[in-house]
Structure 1
Amino acid sequence: MLILHLYNPETNDWQSGDLNLLQLPLHGDQKAWIDMSSASYAEQQQVLNRFQIHPVIAEDYLRERHPPKLEAYDGFTLLILRAFAGESFHEYPGHAQLSLLFSNQVLLYKCQLPEEAGHYKVQAFDVNRPVTPIKEWVKSYIHTVSASYLEKLINFEDELGEFEDAMLSHGDDHKMSRIMRFRSVFRKLDRNLAYQKDMFADLLTPDDGGAGVMSQFEPVELRDFYEKFERLHSMTQMYYDQLGDLVSSYMSTSSHQINERMKVLTMISAVFIPLTFIVGVYGMNFDHMPELHMPLGYYWTLAGMAVVALGMLLGFKIKRWW
């Protein structure tokens, strides 16, 4: 089911209904806002056919999963955006895809959410909202998409600081697994934001293909869009690198601790090797071993073993091995 809102400049109000309410071409200051989020594939095709959308543009708009894209043809501009649909970075349920196809008088809107992100909401169309140019609605959706990342990235900065303190004081494998999950989420965010940043960056030096898009937005607006997503992308990369540094620090610390334990075990083994040799010699069952008949032989042997052990420990201390 699709929802149509049609603005009538003569009565200065909005009429809501289905596609039967739409009479093309639109005249004067008439505006149409069509929500196709819940429309069937056939209904979406019907709308696109009525507006005579180019088949290539229509194909991209109809796809359920499509990388962010900005393209213009024959008075219409296609804008596909990806918003973060999770409640926080503790999980990544997927992204919300906003597909906007608009001209000076028409906005075809579609929002697709992953099943696990039922709490994510995009502001619904308000018929009481003052009438503004179509591009102002598009700008509000772009800001909504960037805000879906920005608020969570700012909040994550404090959480990351706590993570760093916790890993330095008492890091463990449980915290490591959480860090690895965060890195996985940020890797996906990095990909989505890189798409959108590059999409607007290409329009700052437009070629012939971008002329239609440039006619919809002022250069200063395009630069503002680019700077928003460039900052988000930079923050995502920074946090991803910081999480990687925590992993490296934890691995280095763990390796150092293991090396210290191995050093102690090695020194103990080194001390007992000559002592074991002495015990082995005097444990041999030969008939003629003069030391076996010495009254103080047992005590002299123990004393010699103690001297060897203490001498080796002293040597380790002089070499600063412990």
Structure 2
Amino acid sequence: MIQTVTDKFKYPFEWLDIMEPSDEELKSVTEKYDLHESSINDWLQIDHLPKYEDVGSYTFIIFRIHAENAASEADTVTELTDKVAIFMNAKTVITLHKKQWSGPESIKKNQIDQHECKNTHHLVNEIIKSCLATYEVSSAKLTRDIEYYEENMFLKNRKPSLLEGLYYLRRKVEVTRRIIMLSHDIIEKMDAPTHSNTFTRDTRDLYVRLTNIYDTLFENMNQLVMIYFSISSQRTNEIVRVLTVFSVFFMPLTFIVGIYGMNFDFMPELRLRLGYPAVMILMGAITFGIYVWFKRRGWL
């Protein structure tokens, strides 16, 4: 579907927004605006990473935006992000994407109709800023998810799926952070000295802020995973400690029972009238003594 967001008769530039074009539409646009075949091939690759490239008569940019409805177990580039291709020259901007994206409508309403976009470079800068903003929304959700897992771990309300959830959460943070890092070249080119202005510096500031946010999230996730294994190890040690205490209690009792279970003919204690109660009292005294000793040592 080809949508003309702005036309060259009313605005200083033309902006075509194309969502999931058919083969005929793609061929028509390619021929009309003289788009290079390599650029189209790059856009057709669903997992292509961000790039900035000067292709003769136009500039070609691939930017990845965060998917609006990513699944809870999404952990790959194609599952977490959607691709937006941008073709820009002095008079025309073409954006290509395969999924619904609210950027064009928002930019037209808040920037173009307010006469804030004077040229195509300014427009593309606003497009990239809109793409970056999708990661800001995602960072807030990731922060809430990290707090949820942190609370569950420290309150000892562990669920069977906790470790699996931590894995997917860490993957989300790692993949998203990597995509943002790979977009650095685009931000640098847009805010180059020859094009730098207040608007491009705002985009750079947003990029720097997102980079810091996702760096912090990545560090927090690594610490959270380490804390999880540390708590698991501590709980295992607690279980081993309890089992060790039980074994210490029963070791002397088992020793006594082992001796009197050997059934030798010449064991005088076996024929004593008070032999049985004496052994039971001895076992009780040993158990009580072990308990008092453990208590004084602080092991119970």
Give the structure-1-normalised TM-score: 0.76
Partner SS for 1:240? helix
TM-fit CA distance, 1:187: 2.0
TM-fit CA distance, 1:279: 1.1
Provide the residue aligned with 1:305 in structure 2: 283
Provide the residue aligned with 1:145 in structure 2: 131
Partner SS for 2:19? coil
Provide the residue aligned with 1:107 in structure 2: 93
TM-fit CA distance, 1:81: 0.8
Provide the residue aligned with 2:140 in structure 1: 154
Is 1:36 the counterpart of 2:18? The answer is: yes
Indicate how the Cα distance of structure 1 residues 130 and 252 shifts in structure 2: closer, same or farther if over 3 A, else same.
closer
State the distance in 2 between where 1:147 and 1:2 align.
24
**Structure 2 unaligned runs (5+)?**
none
State the distance in 2 between where 1:137 and 1:194 align.
22
Partner SS for 1:312? helix
State the distance in 2 between where 1:194 and 1:298 align.
78
Indicate how the Cα distance of structure 1 residues 60 and 140 shifts in structure 2: closer, same or farther if over 3 A, else same.
same
State the distance in 2 between where 1:53 and 1:181 align.
39
Do the aligned partners of 1:89 and 1:152 also contact (CA within 8 Å) in 2? no
Question: What do the CA deviations read for 1:33-67 (whole angstroms, capped 9, x no partner)?
Answer: 22332323453344333333444445434544421
Partner SS for 1:170? coil
State the distance in 2 between where 1:35 and 1:253 align.
51
State the distance in 1 between where 2:216 and 2:291 align.
48
Indicate how the Cα distance of structure 1 residues 283 and 139 shifts in structure 2: closer, same or farther if over 3 A, else same.
same
State the distance in 1 between where 2:269 and 2:44 align.
97
Do the aligned partners of 1:200 and 1:223 also contact (CA within 8 Å) in 2? no
Give the structure-2-normalised TM-score: 0.81
Is 1:180 the counterpart of 2:158? The answer is: no
TM-fit CA distance, 1:224: 3.8
The code of the aligned residue for 1:286 comes to: F
Match for residue 290 of structure 1 among 264, 268, 278:
268
Is 1:242 the counterpart of 2:226? The answer is: no
Provide the residue aligned with 1:83 in structure 2: 65
Indicate how the Cα distance of structure 1 residues 288 and 232 shifts in structure 2: closer, same or farther if over 3 A, else same.
same
Is 1:135 the counterpart of 2:116? The answer is: no
Partner SS for 1:79? strand
State the distance in 2 between where 1:155 and 1:275 align.
58
State the distance in 2 between where 1:57 and 1:284 align.
89
**Structure 1 unaligned runs (5+)?**
15-28, 207-213
Superposed structure 1 runs of 4+ greater than 6 Å apart = none
The code of the aligned residue for 1:277 comes to: F
How many residues align structurally?
289
Indicate how the Cα distance of structure 1 residues 311 and 201 shifts in structure 2: closer, same or farther if over 3 A, else same.
farther
State the distance in 2 between where 1:96 and 1:236 align.
18
Match for residue 151 of structure 2 among 153, 162, 165:
165
Indicate how the Cα distance of structure 1 residues 71 and 246 shifts in structure 2: closer, same or farther if over 3 A, else same.
same
Question: What do the CA deviations read for 1:106-133 (whole angstroms, capped 9, x no partner)?
Answer: 11111223xxxx6x53333859936642
Indicate how the Cα distance of structure 1 residues 186 and 89 shifts in structure 2: closer, same or farther if over 3 A, else same.
farther
5 Å-filtered alignment, 1:18-33, equals 31-33=13-15
Provide the residue aligned with 1:273 in structure 2: 251
State the distance in 1 between where 2:270 and 2:154 align.
58
Match for residue 211 of structure 2 among 233, 249, 253:
233
Aligned sequence identity (%): 24
The code of the aligned residue for 2:93 comes to: L
Provide the residue aligned with 1:122 in structure 2: 103
Question: What do the CA deviations read for 1:4-28 (whole angstroms, capped 9, x no partner)?
Answer: 45322xxxx37xxxxxxxxxxxxxx
CA RMSD across the alignment: 3.1
Do the aligned partners of 1:64 and 1:112 also contact (CA within 8 Å) in 2? no
Partner SS for 2:16? strand
